[in-house]
Amino acid sequence: MTPPLLVAAVDTSSGWQTFLQYALIGLTNGALFALVALGYTMVYGIIELINFAHGDVFMLGSFLALALIGAMAKYLGWNWGEPAMIGLGIGLLLVVVPLFCAALNVTIDRVVYKPLRRAPKLAPLVSAIGVSFVLMNVGLLWGGAADRHFPDLVSRQSVLGETAALSFTVKDLMVVAITVPIMIALTLFVKTTRLGKAMRATAQDPLAAQLMGINVDRVIGATFALGGALAGAAAVIYGLYINTVSYQMGFQNGLYAFTAAVLGGIGNIPGAVLGGLVIGLARSLGSGYVGERWTSALVFVILIAILVFRPAGLLGSRTRDKV
Amino acid sequence: MTLLKLNKLIVRFGGLTAVEDVDCVVRERQIFSIIGPNGAGKTTVFNAITGIYEPSGGTIEFRGQPLRRRLSWQVLVLCVVVGLITGFGAALVSVDVNALWRAAIKRNYARPGEPFSYAAAGHDAWNYMQGTLALDRMRGNRWAVRTPDGRRTLGYAKSHDEAEQMRSRFEKLIDAAGSTTAPVERDGKWVVRDRDDTENLASFEAEADARAVLDKYATLARDPAARRRSALVALLLGIVVGSAGTWAVWSRARRTPEVISRAGIARTFQNIRLFQNMTVLENVLTGMDRGLRGGVIRMALQLPGIRQQERAARERARRLLGFVGLAGKERMLAKNLPYGDQRRLEIARALATEPQLILLDEPAAGMNPAESIELNRLIGQIRDQGLSVLLIEHHMKVVMGISDRIAVLDYGAKIAEGTPEEVRKNPKVIAAYLGSEEVS
Amino acid sequence: MSPASRKRPPVELLYLAVLLAYPLLVYPEDALFRLTEISIGMQLTYIFIYAILALGLNVVVGFTGLLHLGIAAFFGIGAYITGILTVPAYPFQLGFLAALALSTAGAALLGVLLGAPTLRLRGDYLAIVTLGFGEVTRFTLRNLEEITAGTRGLNPVPAPSLPVAMTVPLHWLGIEPDWSLDYRLFYYLALGLLLLVVVLLRNLEHSRLGRAWVAIREDELAATCMGINAARVKLSAFALGCGLAGMAGCLYATTLTSTAGPDAFDFNRSIIMLCCIILGGLGSVRGTLLGVFLLIGFDNVVAPILDGLIQGADINPSGNPLLTFSNWKLMIFGLALILMMRFRPEGLIPSVQIEAEMTKDLPGPRGIRAEAR
């Protein structure tokens, strides 16, 4: 047993240290949520649909990544033990899986949502739940009911050195190094490119956008593709970071991600990022200080509180009904 | 007498000004028309009056009153009640509901030979929150000293007095274990002293034993004061958040369309907003909603009073439908009505709310000339019943024929107001509106 | 509601007579049991209970147009309130009727607490809030293990006590006055409560409140402009729906003699109930009943039989997951939702169409002639 006084001294300093460590983990996790939340928020911004299937597209993406890792080792003789090969392999996954998810998302839109564009709002929403169930069942048949282990390819060594007060692993760094550039690229895309501007215009007023010669259908398709690709990227990172995937993870993470989107102000891209970070922080601080089992309740209470005090979300602005 | 008064009304959307400094006075039994080209901000004025938009500036008064829900003591009571509920909820969570339940309910119920009593449960719950160790009576008049939640037994005593002493010693020991006290050597033995170093609590042969005991009790030593403090903080935080939240939700709903409708202003919509899948009669009955009484249970049981009231309402609705010329179509679905009839049904629905002022948003849009003339007569009849009418119109014929006063809007600003004759001759009006479109 | 509908041959009464007579004619139950090895009477009891749950959901989603994705949570809350108030492990041990009333009131109160801050917001938010609440309730029931016994659930929930006066007529009907021996007591209890709920809901539907619900669903803005307090009307629908769910939960726990585990009240349960009312016809009481009968009947009776057949025919000796029926359940419900929304969004027995038909059946076709003008 250490001398009492010393314990007390370490305790106060480690109080801050623990807090910072939780915050760091929270922000890293939050970046991941933000990536999924962006897909929700973009689709909602354009067609005012909560795309319940988005989380399950994400889930199927991580299943695909898992299958690809196995297949590459088996058929291409890929050596997942060698750092260079790992990097290249992850790069490859980050191309293939987002493409798959984008294609899947666009297909869902074309087959299920598109015929319902003029239907009452409840119809596409209920259909989205239906798609979510179908995809979940696909995941169940593909991966089984139990949790699957996802290969632990990235090192858990701290980049700050073993002696540093805080730990920030290579894994954490990977999450940040992939998500942050993606978010910056997305923001630039939406702000500067023609398609991005068309997306913003359509989100503002689909009818006016159509009158201005914007092909609204193409814009919607592009939005679904982009959202799907983001979910795919998130799926790869999630698998590598958390190392467990299951057919139900789409539902659970989708719920958190959508909450993040609502928190930030739905339809608002920086809002989704902010919301993701807030949720990540709340979850990690909550599990550190309140208890792991109460984190989801805590996130829910935060959501209700934000909706009460800022109904349009943290960064959202109030919209008006058209009369 | 003045009914509606707009004073420097401004409505902005973002940076765009839709309506700027519009003044307007509608008197009783008056037909007042607002005309102007498309995009002049006429419907926006309507929406501002009926509470759909919050005005960015200026005032709207109806019979000398601003149209706002009044602050009543019920609202304040509600704030306090919701605050207390959230506060107690938060405090319960912070003291650990599981442990509280075990301490207050399960432990009491499991006590042999004693019937469960809520008083004892309450007492135990209080003790748990205080962090006091619990005393349980066992068989044969033996007593057990337990942790506050009753989960772990610390020791047994033969009588109540002995148990009390044991409890106080354990409490001191736990207190010491949670502080920075270390065992000290006295006369060849290792003793644990209490926190204030006044008394020997336990003595051991070896230092390791003493340390082991301290470690064992350290896990129990969650500072009761700190726990009380966190429960209190949770309680206060819950009260503040709960009541502030209730206040925030209420204050956002102070100027809703419903409040304004209840004050006596009814309206129709430019692009018809009937309840499409309800019957014509039901549409009108919905307009009567606020005049009908009865709680959920009375309605569920269809008590005689409710039935009678419903019959009377139906009778009145039929008369109203007859008044606007829709007699015999009560059972049709609103969406199956022809266009002109839908407009008339909207008027009937608005009249059903028993307004003093009715706002008609382009009622003649899409009507043929014969229907238009019919409509004119209807509007005149509405005025003759003692109502005022505020009318937005495109059809100049309608407006000129029946209006008592006309205001002309252009680009969100009022450019002229007066009797139909005055407006017709106003050069600004001719330039802005009449000259370019139809001159009658 | 209208004279036209009253003059129709009362088909519902026929169904009711069949349902009332089924358990008394012992033969069909026995024959079906030999055929399927499932007690159809017991399954019908559960169908009645789920019908109450679905009717509650129908008030919120069908009448008022608010998408409620967490109805199972209120079902579970009702079950757990009943469990806590009645099991012998706790000192309260109330009777069935008190537990029924308190479960209903407790679930309704929680519904109000959840709805009050969120019902004024745009509709989509409610979907996510109710969905989140459903999940949080499930986790909370699991975490409060001192109170709820964690994943095991509380049991045994005691059966209601029979009034002494009932024993003679029951004996006369050939029913054992023991709840655990004879399913028919629960059968008639559930059927009776369901009938009561249906009658009360029909009355409400055709009252001021029912009109206000539908008006809000059709056009909330126009409804508020007509002086309807949208927040209050939505809250009443929400409270009533959640309260009925709590009532169904109490009945469920009593029939099952256990609260089941928290996972019995998960998102899937909510979605299955949503499927029921969408299949039957949103906003239509008759449709809801039909939807529950078809879907819960499929889930509880047809699916196990099919699984049994597959097993019995030895098609699947290696235990391939693709070949067990229950592994396709999510897919079937999902596809049902998608296809219904695409091709028949109004459901099998839509409420609106009934009214439209009634208009055509009018003796004096003045309405139609006027339309042709």
3-state SS of C324-367?
CHHHHHHHHHHHHHHHHHHHCCCCCCCHHHHHHHHHHCCCCCHH
Stronger pLDDT, B225 or B84, i.e. the higher one: B84
Sorting pLDDT into bands at 50, 70 and 90, what band is C367? very low
Cα angle, residue C262 at apex, residues C256 and C265 outer, rounded to 5°: 75
- The pLDDT, as a whole number, for residue A319 is 60
| Exposure string over A19-34, b if 16+ CB within 10 A, otherwise e | eebbbbbbbbbbbbbb
Half-sphere exposure of A195 (CA within 13 A, CB side): 14
- Residues of chain B contacting residue C358, judged by C-beta atoms under 8 Å apart: 331
DSSP codes joined into one string, A160-218 = T-TTSSS--BHHHHHHHHHHHHHHHHHHHHHHHSHHHHHHHHHHH-HHHHHHTT--HHH
Region at B362 (left for phi over 0; alpha for psi -120 to 50; beta for the rest): left
pLDDT average, residue stretch C103-111: 96
Of B361, B355, B345, B344, nearest to B269 by C-alpha is B361
- The pLDDT, as a whole number, for residue A206 is 81
Q: DSSP character for B382?
A: H
Sorting pLDDT into bands at 50, 70 and 90, what band is B94? confident
Does A133 contact C118 at a Cβ distance shorter than 8 Å? no
Which of C84, C110, C122, C146 to substitute to test the interface with B, most B CBs within 10 Å?
C146
Highest mean pLDDT pick, A232-241, B219-228, C340-349: A232-241
Sorting pLDDT into bands at 50, 70 and 90, what band is B425? confident
Query: Residues C44, C32: contact at Cβ < 8 Å?
Result: no
Fold of B2-69+256-264+355-434: Rossmann fold (3.40.50)
What is the C-alpha separation between B278 and B268, in angstroms, rounded? 17
Nearest CA of chain C to the CA of B245: how many Å?
8
Stretch (H or E) spanning A245: strand A244-245
Least confident of A138-147, A200-209, B275-284: A200-209
Distances (CA, A) of B345 to B279, B284, B328, B424: 11, 8, 13, 32
Which chains share 3+ C-beta pairs under 8 angstroms with A? B, C
Sorting pLDDT into bands at 50, 70 and 90, what band is B432? confident
Q: Which of B93, B180, B244 sits opposite A5 (nearest CB)?
A: B180
Q: Which of A251, A266, A323 sits opposite C221 (nearest CB)?
A: A323
Sorting pLDDT into bands at 50, 70 and 90, what band is A222? very high
pLDDT average, residue stretch B339-364: 93
Query: Residues A54, A225: contact at Cβ < 8 Å?
Result: no
Chain centre to alpha carbon of residue C194: 9
Percentage of residues in chain C having pLDDT higher than 90: 52
What is the C-alpha separation between B103 and B107, in angstroms, rounded? 6
Query: Which 3 state secondary structure label does DSSP give A86?
Result: helix
Of C129, C131, C103, nearest to C115 by C-alpha is C129
pLDDT digits (tens, 9 = 90+) for B278-288: 999 999 999 99
Does C226 contact B287 at a Cβ distance shorter than 8 Å? yes
In the numeric block, which tokens belong to residue A184? Answer: 């910056």
- Residues of chain C contacting residue A251, judged by C-beta atoms under 8 Å apart: 267
Q: Which long-range contacts (CB under 8 A, 24 or more apart) does A199-205 make?
A: A199/A42, A199/A45, A199/A46, A199/A223, A202/A46, A203/A45, A203/A46, A203/A267
ipTM: 0.87
What is the C-alpha separation between C273 and C190, in angstroms, rounded? 18
Q: Does A318 touch chain B (CB under 8 A)?
A: no
Q: DSSP character for B279?
A: B
Please provide the CATH number assigned to the domain covering C3-367: 1.10.3470
Asked whether the predicted pLDDT for residue A2 surpasses 50, the reply is no
Q: Which of C211, C229, C366 sits opposite B286 (nearest CB)?
A: C211
What is the C-alpha separation between B216 and B29, in angstroms, rounded? 87
Least confident of A57-71, A196-210, A306-320, B282-296: A306-320
Q: Does A217 touch chain C (CB under 8 A)?
A: no
Asked whether the predicted pLDDT for residue A92 surpasses 60, the reply is yes
What is the C-alpha separation between A303 and C195, in angstroms, rounded? 39
| Residues with Cβ within 8 Å of residue B181, at least 6 apart in sequence | A4, B192, B193, B194, B195, B197, B214
pLDDT digits (tens, 9 = 90+) for C245-267: 999 999 999 999 999 899 999 99
pLDDT digits (tens, 9 = 90+) for B309-333: 999 999 999 999 999 999 989 888 8
Stronger pLDDT, B378 or B170, i.e. the higher one: B378
Least confident of A96-105, B386-395, C207-216, C241-250: B386-395
Q: Which of A50, A127, A133 sits opposite C128 (nearest CB)?
A: A50
CB count in 10 Å sphere of residue C281? 27
- The pLDDT, as a whole number, for residue C103 is 97
- Strand order across the B184-186 sheet: B184-186, B189-193, B200-204
What is the C-alpha separation between C139 and C32, in angstroms, rounded? 39
pLDDT digits (tens, 9 = 90+) for A11-29: 344 678 888 889 999 999 9
Domain ranges of chain B: 2-69+256-264+355-434, 74-227, 275-339
- The pLDDT, as a whole number, for residue A323 is 56
Mark which residues 221-250 of C lie under 8 Å from A by CB: 221
Burial class (CB in 10 A: 0-12, 13-18, 19+), B246: buried
- Residues of chain A contacting residue C329, judged by C-beta atoms under 8 Å apart: 137
| Exposure string over C13-34, b if 16+ CB within 10 A, otherwise e | eeeeeebeebbeeeeebeebee
* Chains A, C: CB pairs < 8 Å: 121
Burial class (CB in 10 A: 0-12, 13-18, 19+), C320: exposed
DSSP codes joined into one string, A4-61 = HHHHHHHHHHHHHHHHHHHHHHHHHHHHHHHHHHHHHHHHHHHH----TTHHHHHHHH
Sorting pLDDT into bands at 50, 70 and 90, what band is A56? very high
Asked whether the predicted pLDDT for residue B338 surpasses 50, the reply is yes
- Residues of chain A contacting residue B215, judged by C-beta atoms under 8 Å apart: 1
DSSP codes joined into one string, B149-164 = TS-SEEEEESSHHHHH
Domains belonging to chain A, first-starting first, are 4-309 (1.10.3470)
Sorting pLDDT into bands at 50, 70 and 90, what band is A9? very low
Mark which residues 140-159 of C lie under 8 Å from A by CB: 140, 142-143
What is the C-alpha separation between B219 and B209, in angstroms, rounded? 16
Q: Does A4 touch chain B (CB under 8 A)?
A: yes
Does C211 contact B278 at a Cβ distance shorter than 8 Å? yes
Of B51, B68, B58, B67, nearest to B11 by C-alpha is B58
Asked whether the predicted pLDDT for residue A74 surpasses 60, the reply is yes
| Residues with Cβ within 8 Å of residue B280, at least 6 apart in sequence | B321, B326, B329, B330, B331, B332, B333, B334, B337, B345
pLDDT digits (tens, 9 = 90+) for C293-308: 999 998 888 888 887 7
What is the C-alpha separation between C80 and C110, in angstroms, rounded? 13
What is the C-alpha separation between A143 and B6, in angstroms, rounded? 66
Q: Which of C91, C147, C225 sits opposite B257 (nearest CB)?
A: C225
Least confident of A58-72, C41-55, C162-176: C162-176
What is the C-alpha separation between B120 and B106, in angstroms, rounded? 12
Q: Does C352 touch chain A (CB under 8 A)?
A: no
Asked whether the predicted pLDDT for residue A179 surpasses 70, the reply is yes
Stretch (H or E) spanning A62: helix A54-75
Sorting pLDDT into bands at 50, 70 and 90, what band is C372? very low
Least confident of A25-34, B229-238, B420-429: B420-429
- The pLDDT, as a whole number, for residue C220 is 92
Which of B85, B283, B286 to substitute to test the interface with C, most C CBs within 10 Å?
B286
In the numeric block, which tokens belong to residue B89? Answer: 């909820």
Half-sphere exposure of B179 (CA within 13 A, CB side): 16
Sorting pLDDT into bands at 50, 70 and 90, what band is C368? very low
Sign of CA dihedral B257, B258, B261, B262: negative
Half-sphere exposure of C371 (CA within 13 A, CB side): 15
Does C227 contact B338 at a Cβ distance shorter than 8 Å? no
Sorting pLDDT into bands at 50, 70 and 90, what band is A145? confident
In the numeric block, which tokens belong to residue C164? Answer: 């002494």
Distances (CA, A) of B289 to B141, B250, B258, B312, C210: 69, 22, 11, 13, 11
Percentage of residues in chain B having pLDDT higher than 70: 96
- Residues of chain A contacting residue C336, judged by C-beta atoms under 8 Å apart: 130
The pTM of the full predicted model, rounded to 2 decimals, is 0.90
Does A130 contact C341 at a Cβ distance shorter than 8 Å? yes
pLDDT average, residue stretch B75-99: 91
- The pLDDT, as a whole number, for residue C132 is 92
Highest mean pLDDT pick, A257-271, B417-431, C193-207: C193-207
Nearest CA of chain A to the CA of B182: how many Å?
8
What is the C-alpha separation between B56 and B19, in angstroms, rounded? 9
Does B52 contact A311 at a Cβ distance shorter than 8 Å? no
Which of C128, C145, C266 to substitute to test the interface with A, most A CBs within 10 Å?
C128
pLDDT digits (tens, 9 = 90+) for B131-164: 788 888 877 778 888 888 777 888 888 888 888 8
Half-sphere exposure of A247 (CA within 13 A, CB side): 17
- The pLDDT, as a whole number, for residue B370 is 87
- The pLDDT, as a whole number, for residue B183 is 77
Closest residue in chain A to residue B181, using alpha carbons only: A4
Asked whether the predicted pLDDT for residue B440 surpasses 80, the reply is no
| Residues with Cβ within 8 Å of residue A307, at least 6 apart in sequence | A262, C117, C118, C121, C125, C129
Pairing of strands B65-66, B57-62: antiparallel
Sign of CA dihedral A47, A49, A54, A55: positive
What residue type is B25 in one-letter code?
A: V
Closest residue in chain C to residue A140, using alpha carbons only: C327
- Residues of chain B contacting residue A305, judged by C-beta atoms under 8 Å apart: 241, 245
pLDDT digits (tens, 9 = 90+) for C201-214: 999 998 999 999 99
Asked whether the predicted pLDDT for residue A102 surpasses 80, the reply is yes
pLDDT average, residue stretch C352-360: 50
Strand partners, B192: B202
Does C358 contact B289 at a Cβ distance shorter than 8 Å? no
Sign of CA dihedral C308, C309, C311, C316: negative
Nearest CA of chain C to the CA of B216: how many Å?
24
- The pLDDT, as a whole number, for residue A280 is 94
Sorting pLDDT into bands at 50, 70 and 90, what band is C32? confident
